[in-house]
Every structure is written in structure tokens, then in C-alpha cells.
Amino acid sequence: MMKTVFTIFSVIVFTTISAVDSCPPSDRAALLAFKAALHEPYLGIFNSWTGTDCCRNWYGVSCDQETYRVADINLRGESEDPIFERAHRTGFMTGFISPEICKLTRLSSLTIADWKGITGQIPKCITRLPFLRILDLIGNRISGEIPAGIGRLKRLTVLNVADNQLTGRIPASLTRLSNLMHLDLRNNKISGPIPSRAGDLSMLSRALLSGNLISGSIPVSLCRIYRLADLDLSMNKISGLIPPCLGKMAVLATLNLDCNLLMGRIPATLLTSAVGNLNLSRNALGGNIPDVFGPTSYFTVIDLSHNRFKGPVPRSLSAASYIGHLDLSYNHLCGRIPVGAPFNHLEASSFMYNDCLCGKPLRACSPHD
């Protein structure tokens, strides 16, 4: 009798431990429903999604070590994982992201990136995943809008939906993501203005919004983001003036505003700032280029081409601590190109198609120039 009781007790204990040490059936069911909405024909990445324990050896799935709830889904279509090397190809997947994913209520990271063929919309219920820190859906064919309630994700640090087919506006609630550090919306069809309260994103270090249909002006509030190091608003329909305060930002190193509808003058602050990669090409900027370069001017790239600048090439460029690539072509500049560094290492293409520039590396100046 005692032996029977002990055996029953052992079975109960073993069953309890096994249940605790594996993912709950509800998480497994959510993952299988997520898988059912997708089709991956070449690599077999879902072949490992078998058995009752989704925390062990399910490709791309990680669980919390204490609760055994699913915490991370990391499925990348471009990876150095052996499964890709054996197949000698990148990934391709079709289907859509099932709302069943939202039943994984402890999800911290969701990466479904570079599969090229995934369509459908971003499930609105994703905004109800309170522990989500990373949402990376780059490189698919996802359409629709960024969910209006995205601002509920208070822990979100990375939002990357670049290279998709998203439309609509940037939701106003996005400015409530107080922990957001990396925002990448590049190469979609997003329209409307940048929210005026974008400056509330106090932790933001990279804001990449190029290749959309964004209009309106550059919000002055962006200048309040102390940590912002990389701002790319290129290839949009942004108009108005360049806020001078952008040149007073402590760590802003890359500023790409090319291919927009900006007008007015270049703020002198930008030319003596921390910015080292400055692209203002293909706008409607005009007036003289400020002659304010000095020892704090350090540019790996400065591209002012395809604008309406007039007057001379600034002589103070020779006082800059470094000028790597300079492009002043396709403007209305006139006069003698200064001699000495950095002009002695620049090619003619840097100065072509202006009104009346002369001197090396262009034609020699005449006595009348």
C-alpha cells in the first residue's frame, strides 16, 4: 500500500515539475496559430516547432527562465545561422502576422524581419503587450497603418518597420514612447506631418524616416532630444525652413535632409556644430553659404548640391579641421575657388554646374573673374 502511494506521489510530483519546466499550453497554441498563418517553403525553419515544450529547441523562440512563458520570437530572413548557410539562400516567407501572437502576453521581443513576402497588417492587439521592448518587422510587404495605440507600449525601445508598404500618418501616440531609442520608418508610404511633440521622445538616438511621403515642417521640438545622434528625413516632401537649433544639438552627428522641399538659408549653426555628415542636397535652399567654418567644423561629408545657393565659395572652409567629401555642384555660385586645403584634394565634380566659378580644379580664372 505504501509503495503504491509513493508511486502515485512520484508521478504527481514529476508531472508537476514537467509542467512547470515547459511552456504553458496556451503559449504553445498561440505559436502554432502564428505559424499556421505563415508559409516558409525553402528553409524549414518551422520544422523544429514540434512537441509539447515550445521553450526547448523551437527555432527562434526563447522563454523566460523563471516563468517559462514565451519572451522572444526572433525570426530573421537574412542571417548567418547554419540553416541559411546550408540552403545557400536568404529567406522568403508569405502569409500574415496572426493576431494570435497577442496571446503571448509576456512577449518582450518580436522580430519577423527580411522575409520579403509577408503581407497583411500589423495586428492592432500588439499595442496590448505590456512587456514588449522590441518590435522589428523590417523588410516585408506589410501594409495598413502603424496602430494608433502604439503609445501604450511604454517599455518599447526599438520600433523598426522599415522597407514595407505602410500608409497613413505617424500616430500622435507614438510621441508617448518615453523609452524609445531607435525609430526606423524608412521606405514606406507614410504621409502627413511629423508629430509636433516628437521632442517628447527623450531617449531617442536614431530617427530614420527617409523614403516616405511625409510633409509639413521640421518640428522645432526635435532639438530637445539631447541623445539624438542620427536624424534622416531625406526623400520626403518636407517644406519650410531648417530650424537653427539643429546646429546646437550636443550629439547630432548625421543630418540627412536631402530630396525635400526645404527653402530659406542654411543656419550658420549647422556649419560649426557636432554634425559631421550633412546632406542638404536637392532642396530649394538659397542665399550665400555662411562663411563661418572653423576648427569645430569636421565633415566627412557635406553635400549642398542641387540647390539655389549664390555668391562665393566660403574661404573659411580652409579653416575647417577636416573636409572629406564636399559637393557644391548644381548651384549659382560665382567667383574664384580658394586655394590650399581642403580644395587641393577635391575633384571638379564638387564644383560643376555653377554660374561662374573658376580656379582649380575647374578652368583657370581670367583677369576679369
Q: What is the mean pLDDT of each run of 10 residues along the chain (369 residues)?
A: 42 40 92 97 92 94 95 92 80 96 98 97 97 98 98 98 98 98 98 97 98 98 97 98 96 98 97 96 98 94 98 94 95 94 90 94 84
Locus of grid cell 524581419: 113
What's the pLDDT score for residue 90? 84
Locus of grid cell 532642396: 283
Neighbour tally for 171: CB within 10 Å? 17
Cross-strand pairs, 254: 230, 277
Q: Which residues contact 201 (CB under 8 A, 6 or more apart)?
A: 175, 177, 178, 180, 183, 207, 225
C-alpha distances out from residue 203 to 2, 180, 229, Å: 63, 6, 11
* Residue 3, H or E segment: helix 2-20
What's the pLDDT score for residue 88? 79
Distance CA 232, CA 324 (A): 20
Q: Are strands 70-76 and 61-63 parallel, antiparallel or unpaired?
A: antiparallel
What's the pLDDT score for residue 223? 97
Q: Coil, helix or strand for 230?
A: strand
Distance CA 90, CA 176 (A): 36
C-alpha distances out from residue 329 to 172, 256, 286, Å: 39, 17, 13
Residue pair 77/93 in contact by the 8 Å Cβ criterion:
yes
Residue pair 104/27 in contact by the 8 Å Cβ criterion:
yes
Q: Coil, helix or strand for 101?
A: helix
What's the pLDDT score for residue 80? 77
What's the pLDDT score for residue 7? 41
CA 267 to chain centre: 26
What percent of the residues of the chain are helix, what percent strand, and what percent coil, each to the nearest 5? Answer: 25, 25, 50
Cross-strand pairs, 363: none
CA 208 to chain centre: 4
What's the pLDDT score for residue 9? 41
Residue pair 246/270 in contact by the 8 Å Cβ criterion:
yes
